[in-house]
Chain A
Amino acid sequence: EAGVAQSPRYKIIEKRQSVAFWCNPISGHATLYWYQQILGQGPKLLIQFQNNGVVDDSQLPKDRFSAERLKGVDSTLKIQPAKLEDSAVYLCASSLGTDWAGQETQYFGPGTRLLVL
């Protein structure tokens, strides 16, 4: 079974530039998550989708971050414009979506490591 796919794996941009990340979850997984993980910290949830609907985006900095999952499968996360403090690993995860999200095992992709200069 293929895992969660993410691209690109690495990205270096200058502050005020834009960047987009892509995620393809495990086939059949209804729930998709985007996390931000700053070095030395645990993952912080940015946004959670159930199919193509947003379940939780309370920690998403909406003035600069946006995410979509138009067809309920793959998803993109965009940052525009980027700031120095956005340097982090952006992890995508998915779960089946048949139970409460907090009780389901999440399967993580390899992440995109972003460096903002």
Chain B
Amino acid sequence: GQNIDQPTEMTATEGAIVQINCTYQTSGFNGLFWYQQHAGEAPTFLSYNVLDGLEEKGRFSSFLSRSKGYSYLLLKELQMKDSASYLCAASPSGNTPLVFGKGTRLSVIA
């Protein structure tokens, strides 16, 4: 079966750093996506990791360990506008559709 686990909620302070973890179990594995979803809006693409390691993109970085079935999204210099849900989605092998986690609702407070 396919399973994605991520924390339901997190709170962090403006200007701080937060790490959102995601573990996955899928039948085969191609790569892992992170999407951001503001309340009432559509998910928007943040990152896609295929190889092990850290990929940095501005204030956001994403890490993948294929052997551990683990990924995290790192957000630096948090801003109020970063308050949103962050969806982890794993791509099983072949043409099997993405499997989304339930999302982590991040609240950034002053």
Secondary structure at chain B's binding surface: helix, strand, loop or mixed? loop
Total A-B pairs in contact (CB under 8 Å)?
Answer: 62
15 contacts between A and B (CB under 8 A): A4-B42, A40-B102, A42-B87, A42-B103, A43-B43, A91-B42, A100-B30, A101-B98, A102-B31, A102-B94, A102-B95, A103-B30, A105-B33, A107-B45, A108-B43
Q: Report Cα–Cα, A103/B98, bound state, in Å.
A: 8
Could you tell me which A residues sit within 8 Å of B by CB distance?
4, 33, 40-45, 48, 55-56, 91, 100-103, 105-111, 113
Identify the closest chain A residue to B93 (Cβ): A102
Count residues on chain B whose CB falls below 8 Å from chain A CBs: 26
Within the complex, the shortest CB–CB distance from A59 to chain B, in Å, comes to 9
Could you tell me which B residues sit within 8 Å of A by CB distance?
4, 30-31, 33, 40-45, 48, 50, 87, 89, 91-98, 100-103
B residues less than 8 Å from A103 (CB atoms): 30-31, 48, 50, 91
Within the complex, the shortest CB–CB distance from A12 to chain B, in Å, comes to 16
B residues less than 8 Å from A106 (CB atoms): 45, 98
Evaluate contact between A100 and B94: CB separation under 8 angstroms: yes
